[in-house]
Amino acid sequence: MIGNLELKITDPQKQIANATSLTDRYTDAQKAKIENAAKQFESLLTSMMLKSMTKTTDGMFGDKNFGGDDFDTIFQNEIASFISKNKSMGVANVLYKKITGEDMDSKIQADGVSSLNNGVNSSLKIHDNASPIAPSTKSMDRLSRYDNIINSASTQYGVDKNLIKSVILTESAANEKAVSSAKAKGLMQLIDSTASQMGVSNVWDPKQNILGGTKYLAQMLQKFNGNVNLALASYNAGPQNVEKYGGVPPFEETQNYIKRVMSYYNHLNGAENGNDQSI
């Protein structure tokens, strides 16, 4: 708890005027940590300002209420966190830029996910907690039938082939006749509206399904600046929900979906590199 600390700030950016000089030698993982620290700093600064501003009114809830001190602290921290995440003050961005020489970018997320490199079959640099999981032998046998189509889709849309495979395994276990309760169909579980938008005339045709699903996945990767977690969340829950929640939606299904896709992805990459440690 901050206590009775008094805070008078007329220019919040002045407090970081002498930050570390510019450098471009930081890795994506380091930049993610710097961004997270910058946001935490702005959140703390905002919380202190809110406490100072509400002092004359005995806090946000006044002095005649049950548990007012605790509620004040909770709400101040939540409001401060919301403000810093939306960069309303801009302090976090200024601090980040002072250290890295770059504007804070949605490519670098606090969860440590690096951006997707541009170009065909680029290797995703994923720093997540998804342990490699080996798909069933039957699903891998089914998936192998579509290697040529997947490679073609990867080349055409610039999406890593192992990411395409991982989505197919998660969506349908490589069953081209799969249908979900939401009427999503085929290998990449396309709903009719998405299939139509992607130019798919026959959703049951494996080639059209994979090309259409990959095209949509590529669009989501582009929309969210290469952030794989957000692209996968959009594929599962829709981009409108990602935008609504400002990140991965708090849906258990979507969170489990991302974890499973990345678990398969890490397995496939590990198998290719000869260091698979699937559980």
Cα-Cα-Cα-Cα dihedral sign, residues 42, 46, 48, 49? positive
Tell me: do 161 and 245 sit in the same domain: yes
The position carrying tokens 């073609």 is 152
Q: Is residue 1 part of a domain?
A: no
pLDDT value at position 107?
40
Q: Is residue 36 part of a domain?
A: yes
Tell me: do 153 and 223 sit in the same domain: yes
Tell me: do 144 and 254 sit in the same domain: yes
For 179, phi then psi, to 5°, come to -135, 130
Q: Write the single-letter amino acid at 279.
A: I
Q: What counts of helices (H) and strands (E) characterise the chain?
A: 11, 0
Tell me: do 171 and 261 sit in the same domain: yes
Q: Is residue 6 part of a domain?
A: no
Tell me: do 141 and 267 sit in the same domain: yes
Within its chain, how far is the Cα of 185 from the centroid?
A: 25
Tell me: do 87 and 155 sit in the same domain: no
8 A C-beta contact, residue 39 and residue 72: no
* Active site amino acids: 171
> Phi/psi class of residue 199: alpha, beta or left (left: φ > 0; alpha: ψ in -120 to 50)?
left
| Residue pLDDT, tens place only, 3-61 | 555 555 555 554 444 444 444 567 666 776 677 677 767 766 776 776 676 665 555 55
Q: Is residue 27 part of a domain?
A: yes
Split into its structural domains, the chain has a count of: 2
The position carrying tokens 């007012």 is 68
Among 14, 236, 234, 230, which residue's Cα sits nearest to residue 105?
A: 230
How confident is the prediction along the chain (279 residues), in pLDDT tens digits per residue? 445 555 555 555 544 444 444 445 676 667 766 776 777 677 667 767 766 766 655 555 555 554 445 555 555 555 555 554 554 567 777 777 788 777 765 443 333 333 333 333 333 434 456 788 899 999 999 999 999 999 999 999 999 999 999 999 999 999 999 999 889 999 999 999 999 999 999 999 999 999 999 999 999 999 999 999 999 999 999 999 999 999 999 999 999 999 999 999 999 988 887 766 565
User: Which one of 51, 82, 100 terminates a domain?
Assistant: 100
Q: Is residue 113 part of a domain?
A: no
Tell me: do 165 and 255 sit in the same domain: yes
pLDDT value at position 5?
52
Tell me: do 166 and 246 sit in the same domain: yes
Tell me: do 163 and 268 sit in the same domain: yes
Q: Is residue 120 part of a domain?
A: no
> And the tokens for 147?
């290697």
Range of the domain at 169: 137-273
Q: Is residue 7 part of a domain?
A: no
